[in-house]
Amino acid sequence: MPESVKKPLIDTLMSGYIGQGPRVEEFESLLSKWIRNSNVLTVNAGTSALHLAYHMIIENSGDEIITTPMTCTATNTPIVNTKGGKIVWADVDPYTGLIDPDDIEKKITPRTKGIVMVHLGGNPCDIDRINEIAKKHNLKTIEDAAHAFGSTYKGRRLGNNTSDFVMFSFQAIKHLTTIDGGALITKSKDDYKRGKLLRWYGIDREIKSEDLRCEEDVKEAGYKFHMNDVCAVVGVEMMKYVEEIIAKHRANAKFYNDNLKVDYVKESSDGKSAYWMYTIHIKGGRRDEFIRYMKDNGVLVSKVHSRNDTHTMFKDFKAELPGLEEYYKSMCSIPVGWWLAEKECVKIADLVNKF
C-alpha cells in the first residue's frame, strides 16, 4: 500500500461519516471514466456483485445458469444461494481453461436464464461469440472479471463491451484494491437502477423524505452489499497507481514469454490480459512434483483454484468435461505480480527451465 493512502484514509476515518457517502461516489465516478461506462455500482465484494446479477436473472427455483467449473468457488456459490438457482457446467478449452462457447450452446435448455464467462487469470473469453449465443436464445450474460481489471477485448476495457453484467473484484491482492470490495457494471440503465436499490436492502437512498432513514415503500427485498467510504477512499488513491501496476504485471509476463521453454497460456486472439495469473502447463503428470520442486527452491507456485465440479457442495451438478480434465492435470500458475524484481523473474524462469 503506498504511503500516499495514509492522509486521505485518516481524513475519511476522522470525517464523521464512514458509511456509503461522498468517497463512494467519487470512486464510482473514477471507475466510470476509466471503464467508459456510467452504470457502475460499487459493493462490498466481487461475490456480492455476482449475487446481485444472479438475483436480477434468476426468477424461479430450478432456473439454470451455465457456468465454468474452472474458477474460484465465489463465482458459483451465489447461484445456488439465489432463489433455488441451478448450475449447469460447460466445458473449458483444454489449453486456456476458458469456457468453451461450443459446449455452452449444447448445454442450453428451456430452463436456462444466463451464461457466466470467467476471464481466467485476466485472459478474456470470446465475449462476442458468447453474447451472440445468448442473444440467439434470449439469455443474459455475466462476465466474472475478478482477475481482469485492466484487461481489454478488441481494444476496449472490460466493462465496456456487450455483456449484460460485468463483475470486478477489489479484494486485497487484486490489481486494484479497496482492501475488500467489488463492482457490478451493467449494460442496461434499468438493471443499474434496480441494482442500486438491491445493494442497500431495496431502499431508495436518494428519495426526498423528512424521514432520515428514507424507508418509503420497499418493493423488492435486497441485501447489505454496499461499499463504505473507508474502502472507497483506498480505491480512489489506488486508481492513481493501477495502470503502473497492470503494466508491471504485463512486463513480467512478457519476460516469461520471451524466456520460458515450457508451454504457457497465450493471450486470446482478441484479448489483452492484465495477467493476474501467469499459467504454464507441466506435462507428463509431473505438475504436483513441480509445485514441490519450486517450493523447495523458495518459490510458491499453485493451481490457485480447484475445479468446482468436484466440491461436495456442488455434488448435484454433474457433467462430462473432457476439456477440463485435460487442462486441470497440467496447469500451474507462477508468480507474475508487480512486486517481483527482475532478478526474481530471472530466478523463477531459470528454475522452470531446469525442471
Assess contact for 222 and 200: CB atoms under 8 A. yes
Assess contact for 120 and 98: CB atoms under 8 A. yes
Report the alpha-carbon distance of residue 176 to residue 191 in Å, rounded: 24
The pLDDT score that the predictor gives to residue 197 is: 96
Report the alpha-carbon distance of residue 164 to residue 52 in Å, rounded: 12
- pTM for the whole structure: 0.96
Assess contact for 185 and 37: CB atoms under 8 A. yes
User: How many structural domains are present in the chain?
Assistant: 2
The pLDDT score that the predictor gives to residue 209 is: 64
The domain in which residue 70 lies consists of 3-238
Strands 182-186 and 165-169: antiparallel
Report the alpha-carbon distance of residue 33 to residue 138 in Å, rounded: 30
Domain co-membership, 21 together with 96: yes
Name the amino acid, one letter, at 184.
L
Residues in the chain: 355
Domain co-membership, 106 together with 224: yes
Domain co-membership, 177 together with 262: no
Assess contact for 227 and 181: CB atoms under 8 A. yes
Rounded to 5 degrees, φ, ψ at 143 are -105, 120
What cell does 41 get?
455500482
Last residue of a domain, one of 177, 204, 238: 238
Domain co-membership, 159 together with 195: yes
Domain co-membership, 329 together with 196: no
Last residue of a domain, one of 238, 266, 282: 238
Domain co-membership, 140 together with 176: yes
Assess contact for 68 and 90: CB atoms under 8 A. yes
Domain co-membership, 126 together with 275: no
Domain co-membership, 27 together with 171: yes
Last residue of a domain, one of 214, 238, 262: 238
Name the amino acid, one letter, at 40.
V
The predicted-structure confidence for 146-199, as pLDDT tens digits, reads as follows: 999 999 999 999 999 899 999 999 999 999 999 999 999 999 999 999 999 999
Domain co-membership, 325 together with 218: no
The predicted-structure confidence for 281-303, as pLDDT tens digits, reads as follows: 999 999 999 999 999 999 999 99
Domain co-membership, 201 together with 270: no
| pLDDT band with cut points at 50, 70 and 90 for residue 45 | very high
Provide the CATH number for the domain around residue 102: 3.40.640.10
Domain co-membership, 222 together with 300: no
What is the DSSP-derived secondary structure letter of residue 260?
-
Strands 165-169 and 271-272: unpaired
The pLDDT score that the predictor gives to residue 72 is: 98
The pLDDT score that the predictor gives to residue 161 is: 81
Domain co-membership, 97 together with 232: yes
